[in-house]
Structure 1
Amino acid sequence: MTLEEKIHPHIALEVGWNYFSQGYIRIALDVVDHSLVRWRNSWCDKTALHALALARAFFKVLCWCQLKEALGEALSIQAVDSPLPENSALLDMDIAVEFFYYKILQQARRESLVDEESFDPPIRERLQTIARLLSEAKRPQEATSFILFLVDETDSTTEKVAVLRRYLHDPSLLPINEANVCLLMAEVFSDRGFWYVAESEQFLERAEEIFKKYGHIEGELRVRMERFNMVKTKTHDMVQGMLQLADDSKTLFCRAVQIMALSYTMSAAMGLHPKDAIIGVHKLLEKACRETGNGFVQLQGHICIASGMTTFDEHISKGTDAICEYLDSAPHEMPKTEGKLAMLLGEVFAVLGDDQKSIKYAKLAVETLKKVPDYKTLSEADLMLAEATMSRALKRGEFRDEYPIIIKNLEQSLDLDEKCIYPHGVVRKCSTLVELESTLAIGDETGHHKTRQDHWMALLERANNDVDDEMKVNLINQCITTKQFGRAEALAREALTTFSTAKDPRRVAKCQHMIFSSMFRPFDFSSHSDSQLRKVEDIVCQAKTAVAAYKELGLGGISIGVVIEISQALEEFGQYCPSWKSALYGEALECLKLGESACQNMRKNLASWSGLEALLQKRILVEYKYHQEIYDRAQRLAGEIDDDQQLWRWAQVSKGKALSDMVASRLVSPVQCPTGLLTDDEAGNILEEEQRLIRGLQSASAFERLSIRKKLGQVRARMEGHSALGHLLASRTGKIDLQDLGWIFESDIIKGLPGNGKAVLVDWVVMGNTIVMLTVDATLVPQMRVLDVSLEQVRRWKQTYLDVEWPFNGATELGNMSEIGGLVSGLEKVSSKDDFLVLCPSKLLHAVPLHALKVGGISLIDRNFIIYSTSLSLLRQCCERANSKTGETQRNLRTAFFAVYEEESQNEENRVERQEIYACATKLAAWFESDPILGADANKRNFRERAREADILHYHGHMDYKKNDVLERSLHNDNFTVRDAYSLRLDTSLASIIACKSGGQDIAAGDEPLGLLSALQYAGCATTIGTFWSVDSSDGRDLAVAFFQRLCRQRNKNESPLNLAVCFCQAVRRLKNREKDDLYLPYHWAAFVMHGAWYL
């Protein structure tokens, strides 16, 4: 076999898999890495390349702990709810993709990089579907892997056993697969305790019998290891037996089993063997991990041995040094591990009495754990920091001076306990607070600390009651999980009476929800009778009661999971009772509105984060926290009952909310406020008060936040009552209702259109594989049209014509665009020639040049004037920025024209083009009476400085487009990155970036864009121009000249406002109508795109 054949993607995956299963991770990584590097840009089988990329990412996790990078790779390839092939059509590469995708998510969940509450249900559903498809396709070998994954995802032991027993009865099950299932069944029974040892041994014997019969050595070794695991009381003999098992595994080249055996031996031997012997086991594990490239297991071993040694005086110094070393080398891609290491180190130094270092590492733990949604662990870190600070203060006699810091840490910890409903944590923190305040109450004549002591004592008593109440709730949940629905309902109704009497609204709502779950889950949808219909009525009534109870808790009182469960039930009942469908779907939509409010509240809770960090966290939140399920379900239900207005509304609230939130945060800036607002003294005072309270929230203690939030609510109520501030508040929150759209259709705003041109808003919504178009004109009546082109067709077209080095293959006529022409079909019925269209795409459509598609045989850009926007919320905010400057700068526009191109190249062609670019920039700058910034002067420092002062910013040059690292994409020269753009504070009306793929965006769930154009919009640009793909420099020059020439003409005519959309579209038309060579082809003109406000 030649080297080329060896690294063929299919062969590389098979070889890499074999090395991985044997435990040789580094070799497996090398194999798939060489193949991916060789074939990435030339192999047409995208699924095979995705499988290679995911395998490499997972092996990097095992080798080097690069988990964040792996998670990013996985989520860039597919979402948890991506559609699976129907009719058992999973191919080998599909299976490989799903296998490694799940393994990466599994590790990410353990590190709390993704949220279990939001990921577990879709993962479980996906695994069930894959296992079913593989079983139907008679592929038991592959099906077994996903059955075992599914068992890992199941919490209840009873459910695990049921899944495995059902699978054991599959007639297509192969013997080795049966043995693997029996081995897992033995493990499940062993975990149930002493009484199930016999059942566990029975399954082990069956597995051992099969493995021996077929000569499966690794299987026999795993049976031996499971027998050791079954022994709950560890002994010296057992540990020696495990060491022998590890040695046998190495001899038989089963390195994966060897490493598992050594890991287990080391943890089991703690407290049994002399410490030197344990260190010896650790050295064996470390050596095995180094030899095989198992860096992840090696790190876990380091943590285990280091933390174990700190409990023994003779080893504590060595253990401390080891933890410090591991913490310094802990990968930033695994923040939970790093945070726990810091906590461990803080505990060690507390034992040693070194309060200074204990505080240092407790602070590090808090800062690190803030990066993951593990509130309980973060709460414990906050408590550790408070206790370490208290210990230092007592020793120094500075107790009263340190008091505010200690209180702040404890109250932050309490906040987290309440957020994750952790009453045991509340008890610990309140006990500490009571002790603290009682100490300070001695000699306090004001009685302040005695009052606070009484407050915390009352909270402590309530928390102790909560612990008892929590046990009741947990018992009911356990009954529901084990399908004892009758008992669960009875217990929930009994608890409801108790909590109602105690006036505990949160637990009342929880009980109402559990009663609903107990009634709904056993409902038999296969039976139809009058009694069943009465049950439906009762369950729906209970659902409404549960929702009403959660509403009583106020904003954020209901979890998104509850919303989804109840809305799903109402949807299923609507299908069960067709005559009630509209009413039940309407109830479901009302329930989903609560979920939408919860989503908004979660995003608001990130308001104190810095700009880019907040945006990234909000993107993660939108992707992980059931957000898309809320919006997708609502859109589907609205579409089912043909409610065009509801569908339009849900389309608006679902798109680009994270970016819209961040842009909105800038609208508090004086330069971004609506025209004339700052001259209104009343408005200015209200705005100043709002900002003061927001700043106070970020530094306030839990004791103070409730009062501040109440005051903030009162201030915002005053803002809503003020005409200008109410408008600003709606813009900042991205509020879009049909009745608020009149401003878009005002004649002054769309001035500059030829003839009787009018505005039409065009939205696309994706429901599964179906694409729907929604349009709204001045009548404010949405119209819905289901398009005859599917999302899969668009995906195939994009892969064929755009995901290549030269879009449209460089010389392909527009004819191939007819394949997706259905995306604009029907626009001829709702719009006319010269109308102004606002295009709001969705999902894959963000990458498609919709303006190049034909309507009635005419390209949309020839027929209409076009502007793109991620959402109407963002459009409104961009227009607010444009409004703040309209009329102020048109006569004396401040401009910055940058140009840089192949400065170091001596190639004649590049030299000529460089001269052309610089001449073009010089001409453009002269039109606006400014000087261009060329060559070496067009650097990062000058770009940042000049951009801050410019009304119009223009750049012509290269862009370093990093496909897998959006934030590091940069403008040549001097590496001005997307990350840098987020740090800018601009007052710019227009930013024109003529560079390869400058308009390329990474689109996350919820149509959340991340790229240079969205970064500039966040920074303060009202309008941005970019390119979909790599363009010829000459095309960019021609576009810029045509655009700015038309802009100057409008300005010279004293037109107000200046219509950027007219200038841009006419400029693109000019490019399209060039006759020289093949310049009329879409490659040369369809790449250019304008986003944001269409006027200046």
Structure 2
Amino acid sequence: MASWKELIPETQHLSDRGNYDAAVAKLRDFLVTAQGADRLHATAELTTVLRDQGYWKDAFDTLEQEIEIASRTCTCDDPLYLQLRMQACRLRPVVLASFKGVLENAAEIFEIFSSLDGIDDLHPSRIRINSAYSSLRFMASDFHHRRPGQELRSAVNWQLPAFQRLMSAKREREALDVAIHYSRLLNITSVKQYRLEDLCFGSLNEMMDAITVSEAAPLLKAAAISELLQHMYDKCDGDRINELETTAIRLFEEEAHSHGAMDVRIRQASRQIKNNFQYLTPAVMEEIRGYFNVYESVNALSAYGTAIQLISGSIPAWMMFDLRLSFTSIAAELSDKTGARFEYLIAQVRLLTNWLVHSAKSSRVIEATHSLDALLEVEDCRWIKGMIANITSQAYGLLGDWKNAHEWAAKAETTWGDYFQEDRAHATLTVLQAKIQKHGGYASLTPPAMKEVMDFAELEVTKHLKDGLFGSASQKMAVIVGEILIPRNDGRRNAWLDRMDECAQSLSATSPDDADTQRARVYSFRGQALLGATADKELEEKRYEYFERATALYMKVKDLLNAACTRHMQALAVYSTFKAQERPSWNSLQRCIELSGIARDAFGTLGNVLMLAEAARMHAFYNFLAWSHGYVDGTTALLALKDADEASAERRDDVSILASFEAVSRKQQFISTSQIQDTYKRALAICKAEGRLTDLWDWIQRAKARSVSDQIGIEAAIPAALRDDIIQDSEAKSLSEQENAVSQQIAQVDPQVRLRLRGTLHQIQARMNEHPLLKPILDLRKSRQVSIDQMRDLGRQIKYRTSIKDVVFVDWVELLGTIWIVALKGDEAPRIVSCQIEADKIAAWKRQWLEAKPGAAPALEDEEYDEDEPEFCLRSIDCLVAPLRDFTSEGDLLVFCPTGVLHSIPLHALWITDQKTAIERNPVIYSASLTTFWQCYRRSELTSSTDFSWNIVGVFEPAPGRQFSPAERTKVYESLTHLAKPPGNNVNTGKAVTSEAFRNKIERSVIFHFHGHCLFDRAVLTDQSLELADGLLPIRSVFEMKLQSPHITLIACDSASQAISAGDEPLGMVTALLCAGAGSVLGTLWPTASRTGRRFSDEFYSDIANQCRAAGQPVMVNLAEALRRTVLALRRRRDTRQPFHWAAFVLHGSCSIALTTIPGSHVGGQESKPS
């Protein structure tokens, strides 16, 4: 076996050439038998090679193991032993992502070593200990606890003297190590912040030049040049850089280095891309991927990671999101291999930032940050902990959730404190925005709220100016000016703008690009301050000049986002001129369209979905105005409105990954506040005015209940024919299988890993979107509104599978305050007819007859007239359905899609002809939208393939503040037991129906029946919940269930009541069950008597049993027809003939269900039933 002195030249040569695996193997073999000092030397060398290769955890584990062994044989002041301990301290935060106790331990080691006698300044252990300790202190200063400048100076002032003496002693390899250590410190933030005179590029250049002209080995010279190059690109001319790159490549290739020449070529490519991103052609990217493959094959993880950072960092943040996402995912995978948990967290922060740049991805960011935050304590790594909180706050801000944004920003502020003042300033910027938004924005600020906001801003600005953070001060001022002073036309704005100008001037010397950005912001604000409906030519020209200057400066610093925002504001300025003109000018409006189009296209290129949605909405508005003045045709205006709708849909898509309740409620909040409803109203106005009936029908589908159909669409079933085609296509099948595998991984892994997998899924789905067989699947999941051809085809299928004569899809829509019907039947063109009643009158009718004070019954229950008398309350609104008699036939299935207040009206109880209600003449089913109906019907077809059972449950128990009848409880439970008698059916009542039992039963049901109480606050319908044995089951919990397309009957007060927001967006128990996977839900619009519910249930399931017996099995049961016959049976009974008793029962979702399990023959037969 070779001695240590014989082995070291061989392993160093292998490592110098990038043959790390071979070097590691020889060193590990040597350690098997090595003892004493040789073992310590070999350990130090092995950990150096592993670290250079990129295996940080292996290096750290090796050190820990050998330190433990050496502690039993070495003295505590052995220089080599102390060197290993210091190297372990240096690696600990990298591997464990924690600085807890490490600086104290390192300081103790350094103090012991410094006290040793006979250790000169060039002793190898002193060089290694000094390097490791100074690196650790700078790393801690950057990421955990900012250290004073003087302390950091003392940590580096040994380097230049040591380098010079090592070179004089012909110890070039150790000198190069010192120079590389010096080079790495130049990149440290603390060095840049304190401008340490002992660390500068000039000194590094001299050090590397000294090595390249020395007698050092060629590979050492090549390494010196390669290290120097990373600092030269913004400091030296191109010829000098080209000369050094050529020399380094030649040396690496002549010495057969495994990746050195590639390292230089990667830097060349990075420089070219940074200068002009169009350099990154497919051919160049293919070459770069080839380099990546080589890095992987030679197991050079550190060089691979550096290459990823260089290429990814050279691509503008607003370009090539998918490519940057793939790079960040590779970096995260590399950090897994290297075992560097700190690098993993840094990679996660980069990944989160990438997602956050694309504002529609906020929900993905939140999902990951919550989990990452739980992994770290402040004592582990203060900067990363604060960064995670800050990113989370920004993500919540983009969602408009300013309460959570404020909480997380305050958490980031506290975490960073005075340690990281510039980062803290970013957090307090979000705090300031949240303080404004929590009061509802500038328009809602009361004098006390205004004082609170202004005082906070002034305090922060003063602090920033004192600390020299001029950029941060200007950002705070920009929020005050842009979000308060200009919108309120506050006279203080000019003084604040002047202060912003002063900040820009202060930045000019040190950060010219930042100074230009601040100047551009001031110009833009000065232009915005001149907005107003006035026809002043001089003012217009001044405003134009401000916006043009702002745009030019933003383009100069390549800030395309703010340049696009300026164009967007400029369009608003031109629009203000248009409004001020006595005679509307096409030139002004055309300029609005041009400017807003530029902004829209730029936001689309940047991938900023938040701003894209707003710019597209305004672009559509300007086109609508042009149409209304006769400047453009309806087709042009409708195309712009369609673009606005699709941009809005992109904003909604991302929220789908949140918990279902939060996803739906956030989407509904967005629809209510985003003004997208105005876009729909404009499109409907154009369609109606120009007689575009098919387009009118299409826009109605776009406008209705998108949040619900979005959520249902996530689990959309693939049509059988399409599934067969995919199986036959190898590429489509492979992509589909890849997507399924990654989706399953996402469901199973920890949240902090999901973001990376979501990036992989995003890339797979981007490829799927380009495949003709797979794009329809993505469209299904994104719940693109159904087409008229899809609904016609669905109507034909329903007719074929049931005894229904025909299907008529009926939409109600409000146009200019009046209610209209738009109906689609078969292959006929859509029909539109006015109901001759205003929406306000319907709202007044509802308040009078259906609303009641707590504890009181609605007026409808005590109506003194009979149903057939003209004074009966429902007769005054029969006009809502009467037009249907002209284009529907008796026996047609009517699919009702109400709008606004009509969701609360029993439309099926209105007379469609004289003396005949809609439900008497036709089976009726309700749906929030036709898209939702289409989804539910497709879902209900799947139940024939399940072997799930019928489950009957009931909870009818006493509760405070509610009348209770023990006798009725007995009858309810007897009735439920009667319904469950057939073999295979299950019944659970009373105390057995806990939340867990309820969930277990409903998730394994083909039909599920519940009899009990549905509790809610009519003022807050989202508080709706079912009363179970162990407490309340809120709709939030129902949303999280995984149902298998069952039919669900809820015999419970107000179980079908829904909160309806703008866009006909429902949120209640029915919505929760449909989003959880139900195919259909039957409930009640208002409180009904328990006895009536029992009778209804018996009649309803008897009808289902009769359908099953008549058709055999499997059978498509017509639920709508079963409901119709059941309701009419109640209507014939004397004690339930009034509409209050029978009109409450409504069916949502699918009109039918495929069944293989048929209830026992006694149901609906002669066996006695509970009364």
2:772 aligned to which of 718, 721, 724: 721
Q: Give the secondary-structure state (helix, strand or coil) at the position aligned to 1:954.
A: strand
The superposition leaves residues 822-857 of structure 1 with CA deviations (integer Å, 9 ceiling, x where unpaired) of 111321222111111111111111101111111122
Kept in 2: contact 1:807–1:1083 (CA 8 A)? no
Instruction: Find the partner of 2:1127 among 1057, 1068, 1077.
Output: 1068
Quick one: structure 1 residues 388 and 490, their matched pair in 2 at CA, closer, same or farther if it must change by over 3 Å?
Answer: closer
Q: 1:555 to 1:877 in 2, by over 3 A?
A: farther
- Mapped partners of 1:503, 1:369: distance in 2: 23
Q: Is the 8 A contact 1:673 1:880 kept in 2?
A: no
Residues 659, 1008 of structure 1: 8 Å contact kept = yes
State which of 661, 666, 669 in structure 2 corresponds to 1:617. 666
Tell me how far apart the structure 2 counterparts of residues 664 and 541 of structure 1 sit (CA, whole Å): 36
Q: How does 1:788-807 map to 2 (within 5 A)?
A: 788-804=836-852, 805-806=857-858
Letter in 2 for 1:868: Y
1:706–1:1001 CA distance, 2 compared to 1 (3 A): closer
The Cα of 1:631 is off from its aligned counterpart by 2.6
| Alpha-carbon distance between aligned partners in 1 of 2:668 and 2:1067, rounded to the nearest angstrom | 9
Quote the offset at 1:386 in angstroms.
7.9
C-alpha change, 1:354 and 1:897, in structure 2 (3 Å) is: closer
The CA deviation string for residues 296-327 of structure 1, in whole angstroms up to 9 with x for no partner, is xxxxxxxxxxxxxxxxxxxxxxxxxxxxxxxx
Q: Write the mapping of 1:207-356 to structure 2, written as runs, cut at 5 A.
A: none
Corresponding residue for residue 739 of structure 2: 687
Work out which of the residue numbers 859, 864, 876 in structure 1 matches 2:922: 864
In structure 2, the residue matched to 1:1025 is 1082
Counterpart amino acid of residue 1071 in structure 1: L
Which residue in the other structure is 1:810 paired with?
A: 862
**Shift in Å at residue 944 of structure 1?**
1.7
Question: Residue in 2 aligned with 1:926?
Answer: 981
Q: CA deviation at 1:538?
A: 5.4
Describe the superposition over 1:681-725 as per-residue Cα deviations: whole angstroms up to 9, x where unpaired.
5475043256279779975799x799758614523315x5226x7
CA–CA distance in structure 2, aligned partners of residues 678 and 953 of structure 1: 34
Cα deviation digits, residues 755-812 of structure 1 (max 9, x gap): xx11111111123522121111221632222220111111111111111314513344
TM-score by length of 2: 0.52
Q: Would you say 1:1091 and 2:1140 are equivalent positions?
A: no
Work out which of the residue numbers 684, 693, 712 in structure 2 matches 1:635.
684
Supply the distance in 2 between the matched residues of 1:932 and 1:367 (Cα, whole angstroms): 46
Report what 1:626 is aligned to.
675
Judging changes above 3 Å, is the alpha-carbon distance between structure 1 residues 678 and 737 closer, same or farther for their aligned structure 2 residues?
A: closer
Q: Return closer, same or farther for 1:956/1:461 CA change in 2, 3 Å cut-off.
A: farther
CA spacing shift, 1:673–1:1026, aligned 2, 3 Å: farther
Q: Secondary structure, in 3 states, of the residue corresponding to 1:870?
A: coil
* Higher mean C-alpha deviation, range 902-911 or range 839-848: 902-911
The aligned residue for residue 932 of structure 2 is: 874
Structure 1 residues 677 and 496: alpha-carbon distance in aligned structure 2, compared to 1, 3 A threshold: same
Q: Following TM superposition, by how much is the alpha carbon of 1:559 offset from its aligned partner in structure 2, in angstroms? A: 4.4
Q: 1:906 to 1:848 in 2, by over 3 A?
A: closer
Alpha carbons 2:644, 2:679 under 8 Å: kept? yes
Q: Distance in 2 between matches of 1:1094 and 1:619?
A: 26
What is the Cα deviation at residue 561 of structure 1? 4.2
Distance 1:752-1:462 versus aligned 2 partners, 3 A rule: farther
Counterpart for residue 1117 of structure 2: 1058
Aligned mates of 1:551, 1:505 — CA distance in 2: 11
Q: 1:587 to 1:798 in 2, by over 3 A?
A: same
* Counterpart residue number, 1:197: none
Q: Distance in 1 between matches of 2:470 and 2:776?
A: 40
Structure 2: segments with no counterpart, 5+ residues: 1-365, 367-372, 438-463, 476-510, 1154-1171
Contact 1:359 1:389 in 2 (8 A): no
Deviations 1:858-914 (A, max 9, x none): 2111111111111122222222321333x324xx65111112324689999933333
Do the aligned residues in 1 keep the contact of 2:951 with 2:1005 (CA within 8 Å)? yes
Shift of 1:675: 7.9
What is the deviation of 1:643? 2.5
Say if 2:1083 and 2:1145, in contact at 8 Å, map to a contact too. yes
Residues 488 and 554 of structure 1, relative CA distance in 2, 3 Å threshold: same
CA distance in 2, matches of 1:389, 1:913: 68
Q: 1:550 to 1:364 in 2, by over 3 A?
A: closer
What's the secondary structure of 2:1141's corresponding residue?
A: helix
Secondary structure (helix, strand or coil) at the match of 2:1053 reads: coil
Alpha-carbon contact 1:739-1:780 (below 8 Å) kept: no
When residues 993 and 527 of structure 1 are mapped into structure 2, their CA distance, relative to the original with a 3 A threshold, is same
Corresponding residue to 2:1021 among 955, 962, 966: 966
Q: Could you tell me how far apart the structure 1 residues matched to 2:571 and 2:385 are?
A: 48
1:826 aligned residue (863, 874, 883): 883
| Residues 998, 710 of structure 1: alpha-carbon distance in 2 compared, 3 angstrom cutoff | closer
Note if 1:602 corresponds to 2:659.
no
Give, in whole Å, the separation in 1 of the partners of 2:1104 and 2:1028. Answer: 28
Give the Cα separation in 1 of the matches to 2:780 and 2:1083: 28
Q: What's the offset of the Cα at 1:1000?
A: 0.8
Q: What is the letter of the counterpart of residue 1014 of structure 2? A: M
Provide the residue aligned with 2:573 in structure 1: 518
* Residue in 2 that maps onto 1:590: 639
Cα distance 1:986–1:537, how it changes in 2: closer, same or farther (>3 A)? Answer: closer
Q: Is the 8 A contact 1:677 1:683 kept in 2?
A: no
Query: Partner of 2:1129: helix, strand, or coil?
Result: helix
Contact 2:1058–2:1068 (CA under 8 A) maintained in structure 1:
yes
- Displacement after TM superposition at 1:519 (Å): 3.0
**Residue 652, structure 1, aligned to residue 710, structure 2:** no
* Identical amino acids, percent of aligned pairs: 20
- C-alpha distance in structure 2 between counterparts of 1:519 and 1:761, whole Å: 44
Q: Deviations over 1:559-594 (max 9, x none)?
A: 44444444444444444x3x44xx355444333323
The CA RMSD over aligned residues, in Å, is 4.7
Indicate whether 1:1001 and 2:1058 are aligned. Answer: yes
**Pick from 785, 799, 807: which aligns with 2:833?**
785
Could you say which structure has the larger radius of gyration? Answer: 2
Q: What SS class does the counterpart of residue 981 from structure 1 fall into?
A: helix
Contact 2:706/2:1065, CA 8 A, preserved across alignment? yes
Q: What SS class does the counterpart of residue 687 from structure 1 fall into?
A: helix
Query: d(CA) in 2 for partners of 1:915 and 1:541?
Result: 72
Deviation digits for residues 353-384 of structure 1 (CA, Å, limit 9, x no counterpart): 97889998997787678655359968966865
- Residue 390 (structure 1) shift: 9.3
Residue range with higher mean Cα deviation, 819-828 or 501-510: 501-510
Q: State the distance in 1 between where 2:684 and 2:1146 align.
A: 28
- Shift in Å, 1:955: 0.7
Map residues 427-826 of structure 1 onto 2, 5 A cutoff.
Answer: 466-480=517-531, 484-493=539-548, 496=551, 505-507=560-562, 509-523=564-578, 527-528=582-583, 532=585, 547=600, 552-553=605-606, 556=609, 558-575=611-628, 577=629, 579-580=630-631, 583-667=632-716, 682=734, 684-688=736-740, 691=743, 699=752, 708=760, 711-718=763-770, 721-722=772-773, 726-727=776-777, 729-747=779-797, 751-754=801-804, 757-779=805-827, 781-804=829-852, 805-806=857-858, 808-811=860-863, 812-814=865-867, 815-826=872-883
State TM-score, norm by structure 1.
0.55
Relative to 1, partners in 2 of residues 1:875 and 1:908: Cα closer, same or farther, differing over 3 Å?
closer
Distance 1:888 1:835 in 2: 28
